Amino acid sequence: MKTIKRRTFLKATVAAAVVGSVPLSIGFNEFKKKAEEAPVKKVPTICKGCTSYCGLFASVKNDRVWKVEGNPIHLKSRGHLCARGHGMAADLYNPNRVVGPMKRVGDNEFEPISWEQAFQEIGEKSKKIISKYGGNSLMWMEHGSHRKFYVDQWFDVIGSSNFTTQYSTCFNAKTNAWLQMTGTSLNGDHMNAKYIIFEGRNFAGGIIPNGMNHITKAKANGTKIVVIDPRYSEIAKIADEWIPIKPGTDLAFRLAMANVLITEGLYDKEFVRRYVDGFEEFWKVNKGYTPEWAEKITDISANKIREIAREFAKNAPKAFIEPGWHGLHAHYINSTQTAQMGIILNALVGNFFQRGGLMPSASISLGHIEVPERFHPEKGERADGAGIDGQYRTVEPARGIAQITPDLIDNGKIKGVFIYNYNPVRSAPDFEYQKRIKDAELVVTIPTIWDDTSYYAAHYILPEHYYLERSDEPETVSGHVAHDHPQVAIRLEAVKPMHNTKHCLDILKGITKAAGYDDLYPFTVEDHIAAAVKPLGVSLEQLKKAGTLEFPANVKPGFPMKNGKPALKTKTGKVLFSADLFRVDGKMGIPTWVAPLVMPDTSKEDEFRLIHGKQPWHSHIQTANNPYLLAMSERYNGTYMWINKSRADKLGIKTGDTVTVESSIAKKNVKVKVTELLHPDCVWLPSTYGVQSKKLEYGYNVGVNFNDFAPVMVEPLSGTTMAQEVIVKVRKEGK
């Protein structure tokens, strides 16, 4: 790791500003002094430190972003902001940004090229691929789906169905189960709850600042907080109880909770009678899952399981199991069943559409930009098989299966890949395998920094403006936190672009035009913004001033009804305990016990399950080259792998020792933290580190990543990576 020397970062930012043609021909101290005296302009924007997308105000002095603060209206931030939000604002001045279009000329060598040349060459190669193999051999990958509207304009015309998100590495089991069983997605109403279970959900690590504000306020008002997690996570710190569970066995715990609720008659019979389908079927298969049965699997005593189930029911409907995200919904072969049980437990206590339970997001419709009618051929099949009979029929095609892309290139289905704001080489399992994305005929990345995917796989790198350098179309704000009022937020350009970068829309305009698709985007970002705001009944100026606008409430408690009948978007309008789509291979679509694929043999002193999670000052891999956030890691030994003290003692390992970690695919060294805060069966890695791009000089080779050790796998129902189905051997370095 490059040591972060005094002043180097701020100096570099000044240098970068000079390069970026900002008239700053003054020394560092003088620059700082001038900056102190300058007037401050506050520009509203939307954070990009993680996918919570908090509303922010950027304070700008002398055309330089000085600091950011949470927007006081925005549902996610409400005036507060986490560390990564501050750190990633400073990343605007990170010297490791891609400063202009690049073309690969050697193994790890690139040469700067003009935008014209980049568009011409990429356009021609795309055209060739489309005419030779068909449009469906082009693929677009991105972190989420923010650019889907732009991509659709092209992919609809060429007939490609291959828009793939990172969600299979993140939480597909959850969204899949909710879609199949409820047709909706609900948020915990933390503020009004009396009892909250955070199972595999570290709300204080994967942070929504206003959500945490609600949780700590609820706690001050007497709400009981129970954390069930192999690791004493940050949310456990404010919990009334931390219950360490054997990793991979949450499904057994949940099956037994339901068993207690039903056996003891504690469930909400009225709710079940009116709004649930498949209760009898469920109970038939659930009968055997007693707390005594679960105790042997989970390491949680039968009495404790009964106690939690009783307290949960007693406090209902102002009680819920936090729906969660990554924690329980991508790690194991039983992740989808675990997600199903989360829905079933919440439904059993009747907390759906209840204050203090689970509430829907408020909604509002933005306007659409008009695009000319064009011929849309029938699309090809998804190359990854998501949603296709005989392949991955039960996987959501809208999200796809990101981790198998090199296979799709190997088998010739995919010839060209565009990767936007996403780093699959580092954030999907098996680093060496993911590097083979490079083998496609055309690989284009659209990043802001020299991420691993650009460095190892891209043929062309087309840098996008940093988020503080661009305006984007407004977005609706929802999810994570219960709130009755719909909100609309906007990202506005806080400072002029420093480098030779472009907006994603202009990058797509350039590529498609050169590929022979004239005028696919007859509009600008400003036109898009104006069209989106049009039906809202507010002026663009109002939105641009406030950054976030709140509209009249349109959410109230109560199960959705139509003509006196339950009206969820499911087959019967009710919550389905048996998901139709999951009735595959003779299964009933009802969650039953599925043991994890692998279990560590803990009679062997050196064998552990490798688990991972978020640190509160880092998110994903995108913060892993940030000097401020890395300084925080250094301050708190944040790159260390956690190991339980009793296990470490047997291996003669102490905090600060370097250990060798070996899985079936990799062997790496890492420093360890010996702790009482972890289940003895596992070791825990923070999910951020292990950058391998040599052009990311702060993060390069700092720590290791769980994806180094996880082989590529596909969970059958939801397509997730199952990245905790990994056994590792841990020993002191050199032994």
Partner 1 sequence: MAKYGLLIDASKCTGCTACTIACQMHNQLPPENNYNRLEMMERGTYPNVKMEILPMQCMHCDNAPCAMVCPTQATYKREDGIVLIDHDKCIGCKYCMTACPYDARQLNEDRVPEKCRWCPEMLSKGEQPACASTCMNEVRLFGDLEDPNSELNKKLAQVDVYQITPEKGTKPRIFYVKK
Q: Under the rule (CB under 8 A), what is the footprint of partner 1?
A: 4-10, 32, 35, 66-70, 79-83, 85-87, 89-90, 204, 207, 209-210, 212-213, 216, 232, 234-238, 242-244, 616-617, 627-632, 635-636, 644-646, 675-678, 680
- Shortest Cβ distance from residue 671 to partner 1 (Å)? 17
Q: Give whichever of 31 and 267 is closer to partner 1, judged by the CB atom.
A: 31
Please report where in the chains the tokens 């080489």 appear, as a residue.
425
The residues near 295 (Cβ < 8 Å, ≥ 6 apart) are 301, 302, 305
Token representation of residue 370: 């008009």
- Shortest Cβ distance from residue 365 to partner 1 (Å)? 30
Q: Give whichever of 45 and 346 is closer to partner 1, judged by the CB atom.
A: 45
Q: Whole-angstrom Cα distance, residue 160 to residue 136?
A: 4
Q: Give whichever of 90 and 186 is closer to partner 1, judged by the CB atom.
A: 90
The residues near 366 (Cβ < 8 Å, ≥ 6 apart) are 473, 474, 475, 476, 488, 532, 533, 535, 536
3-state secondary structure 638-680: CCCEEEEHHHHHHHCCCCCCEEEEECCCCEEEEEEEEECCECC
Q: Give whichever of 7 and 735 is closer to partner 1, judged by the CB atom.
A: 7
Q: Decide the pairing of beta strands 641-644 and 667-675.
A: parallel
Q: Give whichever of 339 and 685 is closer to partner 1, judged by the CB atom.
A: 685
Q: Whole-angstrom Cα distance, residue 262 to residue 239?
A: 27
- Shortest Cβ distance from residue 401 to partner 1 (Å)? 33
- Shortest Cβ distance from residue 83 to partner 1 (Å)? 5
- Shortest Cβ distance from residue 631 to partner 1 (Å)? 4
- Shortest Cβ distance from residue 635 to partner 1 (Å)? 7
Q: Whole-angstrom Cα distance, residue 373 to residue 706?
A: 46
Q: Whole-angstrom Cα distance, residue 281 to residue 285?
A: 7
Q: Whole-angstrom Cα distance, residue 506 to residue 512?
A: 10
Q: Give whichever of 120 and 216 is closer to partner 1, judged by the CB atom.
A: 216
Q: Which long-range contacts (CB under 8 A, 24 or more apart) does 113-120 make?
A: 115/462, 115/500, 115/502, 115/510, 118/460, 118/462, 118/510, 119/510, 119/511, 119/513, 119/514, 120/514
Q: Give whichever of 158 and 641 is closer to partner 1, judged by the CB atom.
A: 641
Is there a contact between 403 and 168 (Cβ–Cβ < 8 Å)? yes
The residues near 98 (Cβ < 8 Å, ≥ 6 apart) are 447, 448, 449, 450, 454, 461, 463, 499, 501
By the 10 Å C-beta count (0-12 exposed, 13-18 middle, 19+ buried), 44 is classed as buried
Q: Give whichever of 273 and 635 is closer to partner 1, judged by the CB atom.
A: 635
Q: Give whichever of 52 and 448 is closer to partner 1, judged by the CB atom.
A: 52
Q: Give whichever of 422 and 698 is closer to partner 1, judged by the CB atom.
A: 698
Q: Give whichever of 77 and 137 is closer to partner 1, judged by the CB atom.
A: 77
Token representation of residue 474: 């407004």
Q: Give whichever of 82 and 409 is closer to partner 1, judged by the CB atom.
A: 82
Q: Whole-angstrom Cα distance, residue 205 to residue 610?
A: 18
Which parts of 73-127 are beta strand (E)?
102-104, 110-112
Q: Among 40, 51, 714, 731, which Cα is nearest to 404's? A: 714
Is there a contact between 383 and 136 (Cβ–Cβ < 8 Å)? yes
- Shortest Cβ distance from residue 193 to partner 1 (Å)? 17
- Shortest Cβ distance from residue 80 to partner 1 (Å)? 4
Q: Give whichever of 313 and 630 is closer to partner 1, judged by the CB atom.
A: 630
Token representation of residue 270: 């009225």
Say how far residue 169 (Cα) sits from the centre of its chain.
Answer: 8
Q: Whole-angstrom Cα distance, residue 673 to residue 667?
A: 19
Rg (CA), the chain: 25
Q: Give whichever of 625 and 720 is closer to partner 1, judged by the CB atom.
A: 625
Q: Please state, in angstroms and as integers, the Cα–Cα distance from residue 223 to each residue in 236, 280, 300, following that order.
A: 14, 33, 23
- Shortest Cβ distance from residue 109 to partner 1 (Å)? 30
- Shortest Cβ distance from residue 308 to partner 1 (Å)? 15
- Shortest Cβ distance from residue 219 to partner 1 (Å)? 8
- Shortest Cβ distance from residue 82 to partner 1 (Å)? 5
- Shortest Cβ distance from residue 37 to partner 1 (Å)? 13
Give CA torsion, residues 241, 226, 724, 672, to 10 deg. Answer: -30
Q: Among 229, 256, 234, which Cα is nearest to 245's? A: 229
- Shortest Cβ distance from residue 41 to partner 1 (Å)? 16
Q: Among 651, 711, 641, 635, which Cα is nearest to 682's? A: 641
Q: Please state, in angstroms and as integers, the Cα–Cα distance from residue 113 to each residue in 119, 120, 451, following that order.
A: 10, 11, 19
Q: Give whichever of 34 and 296 is closer to partner 1, judged by the CB atom.
A: 34
- Shortest Cβ distance from residue 654 to partner 1 (Å)? 15
Q: Give whichever of 344 and 629 is closer to partner 1, judged by the CB atom.
A: 629
At 234, which amino acid appears?
A: E
Is there a contact between 566 and 574 (Cβ–Cβ < 8 Å)? yes
Q: Whole-angstrom Cα distance, residue 583 to residue 589?
A: 4
- Does a cis peptide bond (omega within 30 degrees of 0) precede residue 317? yes
- Shortest Cβ distance from residue 87 to partner 1 (Å)? 6
Q: Whole-angstrom Cα distance, residue 211 to residue 305?
A: 27
- Shortest Cβ distance from residue 263 to partner 1 (Å)? 27
Q: Give whichever of 42 and 645 is closer to partner 1, judged by the CB atom.
A: 645
- Shortest Cβ distance from residue 326 to partner 1 (Å)? 17
Q: Give whichever of 197 and 576 is closer to partner 1, judged by the CB atom.
A: 197
